[in-house]
Structure 1
Amino acid sequence: MIGAISSTSRSSRYFRYEVVGLRQTEETEKTNYPIRSSATVFFTVPENRMNQEMQRITRLGGKIVSIQPLNAVPQTSGEQSTPS
């Protein structure tokens, strides 16, 4: 039961992958649709699929430039502006 709760809370976190260098490869030639080459591509990935997505990006010839959490709580300096 605890494992089910843990996996549910993990799936609610998402990460954004910034990827460069995706290209058509022998692996992607097996698909029924073309893969376009692009300078920078962004993917949104749930935490529980991060490893699979990294493997897929590698198969497509891409390089992960950065991974950033999407639902992180922004940190503030504690200063708030008050209306005049």
Structure 2
Amino acid sequence: MIEYRHYESGKTTVVTTECALCGTPIRDQQGIQDHLPSCPAREIYAERGALRDGGPDPERVRAAIAFHEADETPTLAADGGPEVSR
């Protein structure tokens, strides 16, 4: 999603607020170029012919996003705090 931001100085900026491929929100101070290398749907859209006939299979894209989200679940230590790598 693209958002136009207008400032009192008269300046207008165009900001990407979420990834068009996977729907992940893009934080302020982060650009789409920072997100794309780790985008879970990027490889599916990059396949040869992926954008023909309406794009890749939506179920396959949703499965890739769900797998990515499940893979990023933080591990909790036995005391309930975050696991720390040493």
Coarse TM-score class (shorter-chain normalised):
under 0.3
Alignment TM-score, normalising by the size of structure 2: 0.27
Q: Which has the higher strand share?
A: 1
Alignment TM-score, normalising by the size of structure 1: 0.28
Which is bigger in relative contact order (C-alpha 8 A, separation at least 6)? 1
